[in-house]
Each structure stands twice: as structure tokens, then as C-alpha cells.
Structure 1
Amino acid sequence: MGDSTAGNNLIRTKNAIFASSGSPYFSTVLTLMGAVVILSNIGASKGVSFGPLITDGGFFLFPLAYILGDVISEVYGLKAARRSILVTFILAFFAVFCFWIMIQLPAAEFYDGQEALERTLGPIWQIVVASACGFLVGQFANSWVLVKLKERSGERGLILRLIGSSGVGEFLDTLIFCAIAAPVIGIADVPSFINYVVVGFIYKTAVEILFVPVTSMVIKWFKKREPGYSQAAVES
């Protein structure tokens, strides 16, 4: 059973220490996470190929959402991670609703981009459904695995739990997203779909692993600046 230490804004659960999500740092990471997911959903409406490799236009952004998710899970805990995932989920659908309104508004006579606007933002809702389903399952799995590993090892083993949780989360996310999004971006045959899933999973996981040193540094930066975190970690 966990307990909250109000004096230093820390939350303890078993062997793990987490900062309070009431911190201003948490809101900053949450804002960045929402922006990354919305932009990646827009980019994902474009099919992209690098020779035989097939992906989408949001491929370079979405791994950042998982990196930010790792920061939230490691520093602020599972409850804060769930809140951030749900808030980001709602923001993504709000963005789609706004895009729909923009498309439905009557175009001025001098505006000649209506067709391009509809073509670019029109199918976004399908991409968002794919992204949201994958994001919910993948991020929840990623956060759950990371936090449970932290509860077993405390502050030790950060790199291993970042890699392990990322692998589980990215696989589930990629599989669900690709299954829904593939027809939207024009992937209709099984070999191309398998290519899409495999490339997406390997790429996203590889990016996260590549950025593990950076993610670790960012996490340590947050821990040092959260009231009482460093001292509590030493005492535990």
C-alpha cells in the first residue's frame, strides 16, 4: 500500500518513489506529449516509402510520445501516466473534431485549397482511431511494465526497464495502429501490411533504445528538480 508524503511532494509505493503530478514540470511534459501525438496523427495520413521500407509521415514523431511517457511513468508513477494517456487521447479526438469543422466551413471564393484540405485532413479521424487505440493499449502496457519493474528494483536498473517496457508497449501499439490505419494510407496486401508492422515496430523500438541515454538524462534532470526526490532516493 502506497503513501503520500505531503511535505516533499513525493509518493512512495513499495520500493519505488514518485514525484507528485501537481508539479509544474508534469504539466510541461503532458503538454509536449499532447502536441507530439496530434502532429504525428496528421503526418500518419501520408504513406511514405524509403525504397522497400513502408511507413507513414508521422514516423519520426511518435517515438517521442513514448519517450515522454517513460519520463512520466518513471518520475510520476502509474496514476499520473494513466491521466496523461487519457488527456492525450481526448486532445487527439478534439483535434479531429476541429479539423472536421474547418473542412465543413464554407470556403471563400478566393480560397482554392478546399480539395487539398479535405484530402489531407479528411481521413484523419480514421488515423486517430488507429492511433488512439494503439496509443491507449501500448502506453498503458509500457507504463505498467515500467512502474512494476521499478517497484521491484527501486531506483536501480533504469535502462533495463526503459528498454523492456518500450518493447512491450511499442509492439502492441504498432500492431493495433497498423491493423486499422493500413487501408487508410493505401496498404491493401498482406506482404505490405507485414512490412508496415515490422518496419514500424523495429524503427520505433530502435529509436527508443537509441535515445535511452537521453531519456535517462532527462529523467535524472526531473528527479533532481522535484522537491525532495533526490534525498528520498538516497534515504531509501
Structure 2
Amino acid sequence: MFHLLWGALFVLVHFGCFLLCYRFFGKNGLYAWVGIATILANIQVTKTIEMVGIVMTLGNTMYASIYLTSDLLNEKYGEKEARKAVWFGFFVMLVTMVTMKMTLMFTPQETDFAQSSLETIFGLLPRLALGSLTAFFVSQFLDVKIYSYLKRIFPKPNQLWLRNNGSTAVSQMVDTLIFCSIAFIGEYTLDVWLQILVTTYVIKFVVSMASTPFLYIARGFKFKEEAA
């Protein structure tokens, strides 16, 4: 019960911070949020918890907020701005991985206490790093394309939930399939791999659906500089 309540608060805080970042900093805040979420999601994912009988990793909320951000950019500013945010997120992820890998190569001084912790967080195996980068790159650009397509088919303001959840449902499935395939095929038996795939996708999509009200709130924000 504690984990459920704490998990609900965890989600509210993440998406609430997303709204504050946009409210205070406008469109630039959305790009900043992509950078923040990309780094934090890859740190949080190293921690595993159990909720409602399912073992899961943290990071799903932060990762889902990247889809939320690109969809909002697409909705209010167009596909070009959404694509720019994806490139920015990919750049942040790549820079973080490269620089932290280089950091770990330095021999720690004998009184150092951080090396082992940094290795746990940033010492991703090559397959995990490759899976993470590839999944992010493919799924995020796919999300932008699908959202733009759905926006043409379902252009009404009250169909925002359909555009958002429709694009996210497909792109997150692709994201999960790519990552689990690159990272885990050959490491686990097929039935275990399939269980990881399904549970990971379900958790991601449920969190993404929970973000929909925040997308409606953010769409209603008005900024003086954009009205000019």
C-alpha cells in the first residue's frame, strides 16, 4: 500500500515539475525538460522495486514525460520543433554516456568513495547502452511522425487524448521491443524475455496514459512572447 501511494505521489511530482518547467520557461523549458528527463530516467532505471506483485525499474515516469514533451511541442509548435527536441534528447544521452564512461576510466585515489557507485549507475554494459540509444532514437522520431499523422486525421481540440495516447502506444511498443531485443535476447530464455517485454510495455503505457491530463493543462498555457 505504501508503494502504491508513494508511487502515485512520485508520478504527480514528476509531471507537476514538467508543468512548472513549461510555465516558468515556456518553449525553452520544454527543451530543458527533455535534457533533465533523459539524464534522470537513465539514473532512476538502475533501481528496481516491486509494486502490485510486479518487479519493475524506476525511470518509467521520467521517460514517459519525454513523449509528453515531444507531443506538446508537436501540438503547439509543430513537427519541426518536436524533432529538434528529440535530437536534443539523443545528444544529451550520448554526451552523458560518453563523458561518464571516460570519467570511470580514471583510476580513483585510495580514499575515493564514489567510483563504485558511479560504476553502478553509469557503467552500463555495451549492449544496454546500445539498446537504450537505439530505442530512444527510433521510438522518439516515430512518435513525432505518428502524432503528426494523427493530428491531421483527428485535428479537433477534444481529440488531443487520441493523438497523444495513439502515438505513444505504438512508439513505446517499438521502444520496448528494440531495447529488450538488443539488451536481453540471448541473456534470458524466450518466456522470461517475453515477460520482461510485456510488463515493461504495460507499465510504460499506463504511466503515459496518466500523463494525458497534464498535457491538456500544458496546452492551455499562454505566453505573451508567443502572442506577439
Give the structure-2-normalised TM-score. 0.78
1:207 CA drift (Å): 1.3
Matches within 5 A, 1:25-40: 25-40=26-41
Indicate the structure whose relative CO is greater, using CA pairs within 8 Å and at least 6 residues apart.
Answer: 1
CA contact (8 A) 1:41 1:127 kept: no
RMSD, aligned CA: 2.5
Deviation at 1:126, TM superposition (A): 4.0
- Provide the secondary structure at the position in 2 that maps to 1:107: coil
Alignment correspondent of 1:138: 139
Amino acid of the structure 2 residue aligned with 1:227: E
Distance 1:124 1:62, change over 3 A: farther
Aligned equivalent of 1:109: 110
Letter in 2 for 1:139: Q
CA distance in 2, matches of 1:27, 1:130: 28
Contact 2:154–2:163, Cα closer than 8 Å, also in 1 = no
Paired AA for residue 159 in structure 1: W
SS in 2 for 1:227: helix
Counterpart residue identity of residue 105, structure 2: Q
Task: Give the secondary-structure state (helix, strand or coil) at the position aligned to 1:101.
Answer: helix
For 1:42, the equivalent position in structure 2 comes to 43
Paired residues for 1:174-213 under 5 Å: 174-182=176-184, 188-213=188-213
Q: CA deviation at 1:120?
A: 3.1
Counterpart Cα distance in 2 of 1:180 and 1:49: 24
Q: d(CA) in 2 for partners of 1:47 and 1:145?
A: 31
Partner of 1:227: 226
Deviations 1:177-202 (A, max 9, x none): 1222337xx96222221111111111
Q: Which runs of 5+ in 2 are unaligned?
A: 1-24
Question: How many angstroms apart in 1 are the aligned matches of 2:34 and 2:73?
Answer: 10
Amino acid at match of 2:211: F
Change in Cα spacing, 1:58 to 1:126, as seen in structure 2 (3 Å) is farther
Cα distance in 1, alignment partners of residues 137 and 212 from structure 2 = 22
The 5-angstrom pairing of residues 1-236 of structure 1 reads 25-46=26-47, 48-50=49-51, 53-123=54-124, 126-156=127-157, 157-182=159-184, 188-221=188-221, 224-225=222-223, 227-228=226-227
State which drifts further: 141-150 or 110-119.
110-119
What amino acid sits opposite 2:226 in the alignment?
A: P
Which one has the bigger strand percentage? 1
Normalising by structure 1, what TM-score? 0.75
Distance 2:78 2:196 in 1: 32
Structure 1 contact 41–124 (Cα < 8 Å) conserved: no
Partner amino acid for 2:205? T
Asked whether the 8 Å contact 1:142–1:169 carries over to 2, the reply is yes
Contact 1:41–1:128 (Cα < 8 Å) also in 2? no
Aligned length: 202
1:47 offset after TM fit, Å? 5.1
Where do 5+ consecutive residues of structure 1 fail to align? 1-23, 230-236
